[in-house]
Amino acid sequence: MSDQSPVIEIRNLHKAYGSLEVIKGVDISAKRGDVVSLIGSSGSGKSTLLRCANLLEDSQQGDILFKGEPVTWKGSGLNRVPADRAQVMRIRTNLSMVFQQFNLWAHMTILQNVMEAPVTVLQRDKQEVEHAARQYLEKVGIGDKCDVYPAQLSGGQQQRAAIARALCMEPQALLFDEPTSALDPELEQEVVKVIKDLAAEGRTMLIVTHDMKMAADVSDHVVFLHQGLIEEQGAPKDLFGAPKSERLQQFLSSTVAA
Q: Give residue 1's pLDDT band: very low, low, confident or very high (50, 70, 90).
A: very low
Question: Yes or no: is domain 6-257 CATH 3.40.50.261?
Answer: no
**pLDDT over 70 at 142, yes or no:** yes
**pLDDT over 70 at 96, yes or no:** yes
Q: Express each pLDDT in 221-242 by its tens digit.
A: 999 999 999 999 999 999 999 9
Over residues 150-157, mean pLDDT: 95
**pLDDT over 60 at 187, yes or no:** yes
- Residue 116 CB neighbour total at 10 angstroms: 17
Percent of the chain with pLDDT over 90: 90
**pLDDT over 70 at 125, yes or no:** yes
Percent of the chain with pLDDT over 70: 97
Domain ranges of the chain: 6-257
Q: What is the C-alpha to C-alpha distance for residues 57 and 81, in angstroms, rounded to an integer?
A: 9
CA dihedral (236, 238, 242, 243) in degrees, to 10, reads: -70
**pLDDT over 50 at 208, yes or no:** yes
Q: Biggest alpha carbon distance in the chain? A: 55
Over residues 172-177, mean pLDDT: 95
Q: What are the distances in angstroms from CA 68 to CA 10, 29, 30, 35, 81?
A: 11, 11, 12, 18, 19
Q: For position 258, what pLDDT does the model report?
A: 54
Q: How far is CA 33 from the centre of its chain?
A: 14
**pLDDT over 90 at 101, yes or no:** no
Q: How many residues can be counted in the chain?
A: 258
Bigger pLDDT: 3 or 159?
A: 159
- Residue 1 CB neighbour total at 10 angstroms: 11
**pLDDT over 90 at 102, yes or no:** no
Q: For position 3, what pLDDT does the model report?
A: 54
Q: What is the C-alpha to C-alpha distance for residues 245 and 248, in angstroms, rounded to an integer?
A: 5
CA dihedral (83, 84, 90, 96) in degrees, to 10, reads: 30
Over residues 87-110, mean pLDDT: 93
Buried b (16+ CB within 10 A) or exposed e, 17-48: eeeebbbbebebbbbbebbbbbbbbeebbbbb
Q: What is the C-alpha to C-alpha distance for residues 78 and 32, in angstroms, rounded to an integer?
A: 32
Q: Give residue 182's pLDDT band: very low, low, confident or very high (50, 70, 90).
A: confident
| Helix intervals (H) in the chain | 46-53, 85-94, 110-120, 126-139, 155-167, 185-200, 212-218, 236-241, 246-257
Q: Please say whether the beta carbons of 95 and 42 come within 8 A.
A: no
Over residues 33-46, mean pLDDT: 94
